[in-house]
Amino acid sequence: MKEDQQNIVQLFYFKGLTQQSIADSTDIPLGTVKGRIRLGLKHLHTCLKGKAGNQFKDMWSKHIGFFVDYVEAAGAEE
């Protein structure tokens, strides 16, 4: 995952900041923040999928997949 994506994903998921607060505090446009979150999660999905196979597919759909749905839905509202 690119460093810029990693930083935004960490702020959003691990620090609990909103997309808007990340945009405001980093002077990055909101659409760019949303895109970096989406691309970062997509990259993470691809990396983990290759390592864990079917076990990852089940875990992704149950625990992480809804984050992607949320981010994509938020991006559609722009």
Cβ neighbors of 48 (< 8 A, separation 6 or more) are 56, 60
pTM, whole model, 2 decimals?
Answer: 0.64
- Domains of the chain with CATH codes: 3-76 (1.10.10)
Rounded Cα distance between 21 and 1, Å, is 22
Contact (Cβ atoms closer than 8 angstroms) between residue 33 and residue 23 = yes
Residue 30 predicted with pLDDT over 80: yes
Question: What does pLDDT average to over the chain?
Answer: 80
pLDDT at 42: 87
